[in-house]
Amino acid sequence: MKKLFEIAKENIKNAYVPYSKFRVSAVLELKNGEIYKGINVENASYGLSNCAERSALFAAYSNGVKKEDIKQIMVYTDKEHFVSPCGACRQVMRELIEEDAPVIFANSKGEFKKVLNKDLLPYGFTEKDL
């Protein structure tokens, strides 16, 4: 977890947040040890912004990664408290990451909180609902 934390902490410097100044970094670890990073990217048209979690996942999927390849994801902010993914990210994570994969929250104090992906969005909408 320490390795992911150091990567996330360094990666947060890349966040493009001229409006909110709220930086987020996500580090996706695959079962083979490969890493994909994401940061939040804001836009003056706020609805066109993208969160760090989705940035990391979309980069991974763009390179051929599949749900079963993903080991875990860490979400880091430079705040002293834990910040969990927004609703849109929870829905995307519910579909693109296995239900029992760990989602790790990390704060600026180097503390961690681990939850399972399925616990972030109970009754989430999945392909089973179609």
Sign of CA pseudo-dihedral 76, 22, 120, 56: negative
- Partner residues linked to 37 by β-bridges: 27
Q: Please pick, among 53, 98, 111, 127, the residue that the annotation labels catalytic.
A: 53
34 catalytic? Reply is no
> Domain of 105?
2-129
Counted domains in the chain? 1
The reported pTM is 0.94
Per-residue pLDDT tens for 49-73? 999 999 999 999 999 999 999 999 9
CATH code (residue 53): 3.40.140.10
**Runs of H (alpha helix) within the chain:** 2-11, 52-62, 87-96, 117-120
- pLDDT (tens digit per residue) in 4-57: 999 999 999 999 999 999 999 999 999 999 999 999 999 999 999 999 999 999
Q: Evaluate whether 42 touches 49 at the Cβ level (below 8 Å).
A: yes
CA quadruple 73, 78, 82, 85: dihedral positive or negative?
Answer: negative
